[in-house]
Amino acid sequence: MHPIPTSFNDPGRMLHWFLLATLPFLNACASFHVNDNVPEIPVAQYKKPTEAVAHTQATQPLQVGVRERVAEALFHKGVTLRQLNKPGEEIAVYEEIDRRFGEDGAPSVREIVANALVNKGASLGQQGKTGEAIATFEEIDRRFGEDDSPGVREMVAKALFNKGVTLALFNKSMSLALLLNKGVTLGPQGKTGEEIAVYEEIDRRFGKDDTPGVREMVARALVNKGTSLGEQGKPGEAIAVYGEVDRRFGKDDAPGMREQVAMALFSKGVTFWQQGKTGETIAVFEEIVRRFGENDTPNVRKIVSMARDPIENPSILQP
């Protein structure tokens, strides 16, 4: 963390702390969930993504699992192209997976196809192609939304979450353009209502799912819903949502869930602060330190550090 000055009589310095504290969180809320966990492959076999695919196809025996292996190799190729910052080629690979295996009925292959489409949508969203990204996420829901297999259900939940993130980024870009006062008539100022509706749909459809990956998507969606409500000037509703995250997931020991609960509590404290409720803010931050102070997950440690700053320097919170 950045060093905190000992005196914060200057409101500008107070704002400086607020930005330091909240920007990492807001960036996390507006981040696409991308599937990029692929096994390490020796450099000699993976000098180029296309060589890796050729090697896999050439060495796999022609058995029942060959389609899955080829689809998996292509997916790894797409992820590698993502890491090389080649979005056009990356998307082309995901589209090839869909073209070749989109009608495959094998559950493991269907999961890879859904996985590829999630990454395709995320890549489109990160390129600012909002309409195409949303269309891709909606296509995943249309094609795989009734699938009962845990892996595919997780992909559908991720697709809906990413749809919400896409709408959130659209909202932020619209707000930024307005703040910059470009003098351009922008029409409707964002799609916050649609964004919140997506997060609520995720909770409605997947809120009772016990699959760890799906549970984390639900928690993430609720945290983002709270943020959106706060941005709409509805602090009471936002605080209620953050409390719901803690109530429903506060005892979950999974690292990803601990992070979401800590983020929800931190956001609750910031929302209190924005209302001028310094005492409530400090109480929430002290709870974060008490409950998560010994947690060794990097992102949770960052949240604890941000909460500890105003506890040690209460003047940070003074107007």
Angle at 19 between CA 17 and CA 23, to 5 degrees: 135
Instruction: Indicate the domain borders of the chain.
Output: 1-30+233-319, 45-179+188-225
Kindly compute the dihedral angle of the four CA atoms of residues 308, 309, 312, 314, in this order, to the nearest 10 degrees: -120
* pLDDT > 50? residue 181: no
> Quick one: tokens of 114?
């859904």
pLDDT tens digits for 2-43? Answer: 333 333 334 344 444 454 445 444 444 456 666 666 554 433
Residues 6+ apart with CB under 8 A from 105: none
* pLDDT > 50? residue 62: no
Q: Is the dihedral of CA 224, 29, 179, 19 positive or negative?
A: positive
pLDDT for the residue 37: 60
If one compares 123 and 315, the residue with the highest pLDDT of the two is 123
Residue found under tokens 């909240």? 22
pLDDT for the residue 167: 83
Q: What is the average pLDDT across 162-184?
A: 60
If one compares 239 and 13, the residue with the highest pLDDT of the two is 239
* Chain centroid, CA 50 distance in Å: 29
Tell me which amino acid residue 228 is: S
pLDDT for the residue 184: 35
Q: What is the average pLDDT across 61-77?
A: 80
* pLDDT > 80? residue 53: no
* pLDDT > 90? residue 232: no
Q: What is the average pLDDT across 206-232?
A: 90
pLDDT for the residue 225: 92
pLDDT tens digits for 141-156? Answer: 999 999 989 999 999 9
- Residue burial 194-225, b: 16+ Cβ < 10 Å; e: rest: ebbebbeebbebbeebeeebbbbbbbbbbbbb
pLDDT for the residue 257: 95
pLDDT for the residue 23: 47
Residue found under tokens 């000992």? 6
From the number of C-beta atoms within 10 Å of its C-beta (0-12, 13-18, 19+), residue 181 rates as exposed
pLDDT for the residue 180: 40
Specify the range with the lowest mean pLDDT, choosing from 14-28, 105-119, 247-261.
14-28
Q: What is the average pLDDT across 56-73?
A: 67
**Are the C-beta atoms of 136 and 162 separated by less than 8 Å?**
no
Q: What is the average pLDDT across 226-242?
A: 93
Q: What is the average pLDDT value for the chain, to the nearest integer?
A: 79
Give the confidence band of 309 by pLDDT, cuts at 50, 70, 90. Answer: confident
> Quick one: tokens of 14?
């107070």
Q: Is 45-179+188-225 a domain of CATH 1.10.3720.10?
A: no
From the number of C-beta atoms within 10 Å of its C-beta (0-12, 13-18, 19+), residue 244 rates as middle
Tell me the three-class secondary structure of 78-144, residue by residue.
Answer: HHHHHHCCCHHHHHHHHHHHHHHHCCCCCHHHHHHHHHHHHHHHHHHHHCCCHHHHHHHHHHHHHHH
- Share in percent of the chain as helix, strand, coil (round to 5): 75, 0, 25
* pLDDT > 70? residue 286: yes
